[in-house]
Amino acid sequence: MSNVNGGKGKVVTAEEAIATIKNGSRVFIGSGCGEPQHLIHTLANNQNMNDIMVFQMLAHTLADYLNDQTFLQRFSVKLFFVPVNMQQAAFEGKVDYIPTYLSQLPQLFKNKQIVIDTVLIQISPPDMFGIASLGVSVDVTLEAVKSAKTVIAQINPRMPRTHGDGFIHVKDIDYLVPFEEELICIDQETVDEKTASRIAQYVKDLIDDGSTLQVGYGHMPYALLQYFGNKNDLGIHTHMISDAFIPLIKQGVITNKYKNFMTGRAVATFCMGTRVAYDYIDNNIQFYFGTADWVNTPGIIGKNDNFISISSALEIDLTGQVCSDSVGRQFFSGTGDQANFIRGATLSKGGLSIIALPSTAKGGQVSRIVANLSAGAGVATLRADVNFVVTEFGIAQLKGKSISQRVIELCQIAHPDFRESLIEEAKKNRYIFPDQLPPLAEDLIFIEEYKSRIKLKNGKTMSLRPLLPSDEIAYRNFFYSLTKETVYMRFFHVVTIFSREMAQRDWATIDYRNNISLIGLVPNRDTKEVVAVGTYAKMDATWAEVAFVVREDFQNLGIARYIFMELERIASANGFKGFFATTLPENTAMIHLCKKCFADTKITTNQDEIDIWMKFTPK
């Protein structure tokens, strides 16, 4: 045996190092793709090891031994996260799951709430100064090393040398075991491409260029990244780097140059992927790998302006409670730090959080949006913390919304097959009014083509989209913001109350082809308010009746003309040949607009009203 660079670390074989572990010891093993496979196999196969308690965050190699009864008699496995290959073992009681935020785990080691006798890690070869790197697994491993009585490190030339907090001197390692082997490689599991592309379409609408992203652990969040190619200058502050990030960095989509915190650096705690990612992060100063108690803390996360957290869930109930670590009583992952990143996004200037998930599971047989979480399901994220929820059927915004509003928002983005039953369950739970109508049981992806934006003369940008049942409160606020004169011009009589009955009646007739309303939305601080509404409704196979109203402080900005043209575009696509409108003689602005927009316009007087017929110009 010999010393390395004068340190105390002795170069030994794996068998010699493992033999120093005493029976009854508490052993921590490095996490994820950084776990020292050679040391783990040696530990498991040493028949002299008894009553060993093993702690690990993301375990892979130990899964090979969980059907071996002699191993289970000698080792007790404690996991802070239940990966796919451990799920059945957890369900069968062969491993024990410790729910905890990863960001709090280092403190548990430091305070000796979890005592570690020996730590098994994997490091890169030390440099000429004796400094090695924890490589792809800094996360909670660094504090485990500091807290352990004995440190055993496998030196692997294939371990990337990463920049950040993960440097360690060989003098702080008791036993060094040189052994070269490929790191554990995790290929991105396939997801349904059609579903992923549709979810990505909605998620991208919420992400501005220059935003800083966190992408949560799970197949769907990482699958979304492949659709972000049209974004610009994104930044990264996340818990895990995977292969999915690398193409976006090479394409210049991820630059980190507009991050106001850790500018120019992609910040993470660990990396799980394939050799593609490992070779790219090796000695790459663009990446900073920090400890989980720093990277994953809300106060640090919130230092990033325009921070967007993208994570996933197994199921969400109609009040907004998120379950992401179990299906009923069967554990599928772990607590992780989803809640921390969501709360960090709340602290961020311009930040927001997104839960992205498919609307169904088990081949469409089960809705992931549920009236009540499954019995035994754990709440990973509280209903008060959830902001946006996205499925392949749209976006639900829950932040600041009542329970009844949340029900409608979430039912809108549930699979059409489950919307009516969800509304019925919500009525049984007394979440909504007994007369509430369910959203249309139809896939409304086609109305995405109805969306548009316009830069107004006052410098603001107005987005135009179809009215949805969840817009009831915003629509109501718009109605009450209008003057009596404007309401009279629109309805031809004074309407003083916008009742739920009116809203239900209006929404019941919307089918987005023969009857549609478009709303104009303008940002106002952290929300968007309705400033205009335009509607057409079928009269016969050829003609549709049209009407619109613009809030007084947004009149004379070109909004009415723009809505008119967008309604014509949609009506034409749905087979209509012209619009009909009724207005009052004193509404000269409306009459002038009709003539200006449609060359073929006929106007007749009908008692105290003006009838206007506008024939579309063939395109």
Is the pLDDT at 220 greater than 70? The verdict is: yes
Q: What is the structure's pLDDT at 328?
A: 73
The average pLDDT across 52-70 equals: 94
Q: Is 170 within 8 Å of 5 (Cβ atoms)?
A: yes
Per-residue pLDDT tens over the stretch 232-260: 999 999 999 999 999 999 999 999 999 99
Q: Is the residue at 1 inside a domain? A: no
Q: What is the structure's pLDDT at 1?
A: 37
Query: Is the domain of 52 the same as that of 151?
Result: yes
Lowest mean pLDDT among 49-58, 176-185, 523-532: 523-532
Q: CA 437 to CA 429: how far, in whole Å?
A: 16
Is the pLDDT at 44 greater than 60? The verdict is: yes
Number of domains in the chain: 3
Q: Is the residue at 188 inside a domain? A: no
Q: What is the structure's pLDDT at 600?
A: 93
Q: Which two tokens stand for residue 37?
A: 């496979």
**Which CA distances in Å does 230 have to 247, 248, 251, 259?**
13, 10, 10, 19
Q: What is the structure's pLDDT at 181?
A: 97
Q: CATH number of the domain at 264, please.
A: 3.40.1080.20
The average pLDDT across 585-605 equals: 90
The average pLDDT across 449-471 equals: 93
The average pLDDT across 301-326 equals: 94
Residue 302 phi/psi, 5-degree rounding, is: -70, -10
| Closest-CA residue to 173 (of 12, 293, 44) | 12
Q: CATH number of the domain at 496, please.
A: 3.40.630.30
Q: Is the residue at 436 inside a domain? A: no
Q: Is the residue at 187 inside a domain? A: no
The average pLDDT across 261-265 equals: 97
Q: CA 535 to CA 512: how far, in whole Å?
A: 10
Average pLDDT, the chain: 91
Is the pLDDT at 493 greater than 60? The verdict is: no
Is the pLDDT at 5 greater than 60? The verdict is: no
Query: Is the domain of 236 the same as that of 294?
Result: yes
Strand runs labelled E in 297-376: 307-311, 315-317, 322-323, 326-327, 330-331, 352-356, 360-361, 366-367, 369-370
Query: Is the domain of 330 the same as that of 404?
Result: yes
For the chain, the first-to-last Cα distance in angstroms comes to 85
Q: What is the structure's pLDDT at 492?
A: 47
The average pLDDT across 143-156 equals: 96
Query: Is the domain of 142 the same as that of 205?
Result: no
As separate numbers, helices (DSSP H) first and strands (DSSP E) second, the chain gives 20, 35
Q: Point out the domain boundary residue: 178, 208, 237.
A: 178
Query: Is the domain of 424 the same as that of 296?
Result: yes
Please report which confidence band the pLDDT of residue 561 belongs to, taking 50, 70 and 90 as the band edges.
very high
Q: Which two tokens stand for residue 176?
A: 């060094």
Q: CA 597 to CA 548: how far, in whole Å?
A: 14
Q: Is 352 within 8 Å of 311 (Cβ atoms)?
A: no
Beta pairing, strands 578-583 & 609-615: antiparallel
Q: What is the structure's pLDDT at 482?
A: 83
Per-residue pLDDT tens over the stretch 101-130: 999 999 999 999 999 999 999 999 999 999
Q: CA 42 to CA 37: how far, in whole Å?
A: 9
Query: Is the domain of 216 the same as that of 265?
Result: yes
Is the pLDDT at 526 greater than 80? The verdict is: no
The average pLDDT across 478-501 equals: 68
Q: What is the structure's pLDDT at 490?
A: 63
Residue 137 phi/psi, 5-degree rounding, is: -140, 85
Q: Which two tokens stand for residue 618?
A: 């063939």
Query: Is the domain of 606 the same as that of 539?
Result: yes
**Which CA distances in Å does 419 have to 292, 313, 335, 390, 426?**
40, 19, 29, 15, 11
The average pLDDT across 392-407 equals: 94
Query: Is the domain of 18 the same as that of 161?
Result: yes
State what percent of residues in the chain have pLDDT above 70: 96
**Which CA distances in Å does 407 have to 275, 342, 435?**
44, 21, 14
Lowest mean pLDDT among 13-22, 357-366, 504-513, 549-558: 504-513
Is the pLDDT at 489 greater than 70? The verdict is: no
Please report which confidence band the pLDDT of residue 496 belongs to, taking 50, 70 and 90 as the band edges.
low
Query: Is the domain of 281 the same as that of 134?
Result: no
Q: CA 432 to CA 539: how far, in whole Å?
A: 33
Is the pLDDT at 3 greater than 50? The verdict is: no
Q: Is the residue at 561 inside a domain? A: yes
Q: Is the residue at 441 inside a domain? A: no
Q: CA 393 to CA 418: how far, in whole Å?
A: 12
| Closest-CA residue to 170 (of 128, 117, 203, 201) | 128
Q: What is the structure's pLDDT at 428?
A: 96
Name the residue with tokens 């009585």.
149
Q: Point out the domain boundary residue: 178, 201, 233.
A: 178
Burial of 338 (0-12, 13-18, 19+ CB in 10 A): buried
Q: Point out the domain boundary residue: 144, 178, 212.
A: 178
Query: Is the domain of 531 the same as that of 417?
Result: no
Per-residue pLDDT tens over the stretch 415-450: 999 999 999 999 999 999 888 888 889 999 999 999
Q: Is the residue at 439 inside a domain? A: no
Q: CATH number of the domain at 149, please.
A: 3.40.1080.10
Q: What is the structure's pLDDT at 524?
A: 81
Please report which confidence band the pLDDT of residue 465 belongs to, taking 50, 70 and 90 as the band edges.
very high
Q: Is 220 within 8 Å of 197 (Cβ atoms)?
A: no
**Residue 313 sits in which domain range?**
193-428
Q: Is the residue at 276 inside a domain? A: yes
Q: What is the structure's pLDDT at 495?
A: 54
Rg of the chain, C-alpha, whole Å: 30
Query: Is the domain of 263 the same as that of 158?
Result: no
Helix (H) or strand (E) holding 501: helix 500-508
Query: Is the domain of 125 the same as that of 158?
Result: yes
State what percent of residues in the chain have pLDDT above 90: 75
